[in-house]
Structure 1
């Protein structure tokens, strides 16, 4: 017995059988990692390479400031890292935070008369060495006014 398929049924089967478009296919980045073609077409690099480029814009002092901002220093136990997310900066020293803020690792916080607070972002917490749990703790602290 032959069953006639309705138009809607034929459309659903056609959609289910079609291949993904060229932008959804997986391609290889120059570093060798697999990445969606859309990402490579848009940015020319995978997420890892883009993050590495942003990290390359930092100086050693900038990384030290990021680690201090979230409490990821050698004199604190690793279990306590991320229990703060603030860095109080004198306006004359603002140039020291320009690179991390421009790279997206820090954001501007509350402004005081001669001082400025900065807070680490999620990528900034990761660059500073925090794991997922400690990053969530630090980001919840940085969200407070």
Structure 2
């Protein structure tokens, strides 16, 4: 049986361009000192440039926003079509009339989000938490 110690994170180096973003490297050290590479579980995190773009312009079609924290953001009329928002925190986010067509929202936290009028055509919502979200037709998801 394997027993695990605490996760090991590399200390990222920062420069003026990325100082706002920490980039953990996913490894775990076992009690016997062996390091297990878990990076496959952490592959493809949100692109920091894409996060800045969506916050500044409300548009980021096809962007990688996987696991991004956009809670309570106002993205009304935003274009996030074909974006990867899997496991993103969109709790309380205002997505009124937003284009989310063909977006990946699998596992996203959309509790209390406002999706009124949003385009959800071909959007992947498997495992998304929609509790209390206002749906495109104005109904509240229970």
| Superposition TM-score, scaled by structure 2 size | 0.29
Instruction: Please state which structure has a larger fraction of its residues in helix.
Output: 1
Higher relative contact order (CA 8 A, sep 6+): 1
Instruction: Please state which structure has a larger fraction of its residues in strand.
Output: 1
